[in-house]
Amino acid sequence: MDEVRIFSMEPFIDVRNVRKIYRMGQEKVVALNDVTISIPRGEILCLIGTSGSGKSTFLNMLAGLEKPTKGEIYIGGIPIHKLNEEKVTLFRQKNIGFIFQAYHLLPMLTALENISLPLVFRGEDKKKRNPMAKKVMDAVGLAGYEKRKPNQMSGGQQQRVGIARALVGNPKLIFADEPTGNLDTATSKEVLKLMTDMVRKHNQTLIIVTHDHSIANYADRVVTLEDGSILHIEEQRRI
């Protein structure tokens, strides 16, 4: 029997009437048009849309990388849309992990050093951060790869490093932007299962941005964006 997942009724992420307009000369481009959604803690949400649908802009809004033209964004009750650059940077360091399509590993660093980077930015001592990085590295199946550099690893192994790096600081929120875009089908399934299993275990909130509808099978809800608006929201079976 499938285990039913219970979510808090209080929204962890609360997006209210968010609109984003870019100006290109005399032209206005509406990237997000009155987007409203609440996301509970521990939910895995898949954000689907074609290129230009607004999904990357939406992710940037949630991460505080861009400010909305209009509307409000709260994460854990904190008004992200009101924070200045310094405060929103500190918020990201403490609360958010990122997983990227192109891995974004530093080629001169070992796997262990790449995974440790978020802890370096947080000012953790090396004696503390290396055991933390080693623990999460073992958890993603990379025991023994500590001294490998990115060019000595497969794409799937590099993405495991990326997942470990996102999780090492135990963030409350994780963003995965096309996390399997550079992987083959078999490796994609392996990476997605690993990623979703780990965030479910620690009750972390995961938002996956993709154009691949097969990834929706790993989410609790699927939000489809079109022309900057939410087209529909589909509840998935929560397991």
| Residue 12, amino acid | F
What is the percent of the chain where pLDDT is above 70? 95
- Look at residue 123 in the predicted model and tell me its pLDDT: 83
Q: Are 205 and 41 in contact (CB under 8 A)?
A: yes
Q: Which long-range contacts (CB under 8 A, 24 or more apart) does 194-198 make?
A: 194/140, 194/141, 194/160, 194/163, 195/99, 195/163, 196/44, 198/139, 198/140, 198/163, 198/167
- Pairing status of strand 70-75 against strand 11-24: antiparallel
Query: pTM of whole model > 0.85?
Result: yes
pLDDT in tens, 183-199: 788 888 888 888 899 89
pLDDT in tens, 59-70: 999 999 999 999
- Pairing status of strand 44-48 against strand 27-40: unpaired
- Look at residue 186 in the predicted model and tell me its pLDDT: 86
Question: Does 8 score more than 90 pLDDT?
Answer: no
Strand order, beta sheet including 11-24: 27-40, 11-24, 70-75, 78-79
Which residues are registered as beta bridge partners of 233?
223
- Please provide the average confidence, as pLDDT, over all residues in the chain: 88
What's the mean pLDDT in 11-40?
Answer: 93
CA atoms within 13 A on the CB side of 198: 25
What's the mean pLDDT in 200-215?
Answer: 90
What is the percent of the chain where pLDDT is above 90? 58
Domains of the chain and any CATH numbers: 41-56+85-235 (3.40.50.300)
User: Phi and psi of 216, rounded to 5°?
Assistant: -60, -25
Residues whose CB falls within 8 Å of the CB of residue 69, separated by 6 or more in sequence, listed in order? 19, 20, 21
Q: Are 171 and 204 in contact (CB under 8 A)?
A: yes
Higher pLDDT pick, 159 / 103: 159
Locate 85 and state its tokens.
């650059």
- Look at residue 237 in the predicted model and tell me its pLDDT: 60
pLDDT in tens, 102-156: 878 999 999 999 999 988 888 888 888 889 999 998 888 889 999 999 999 998 8
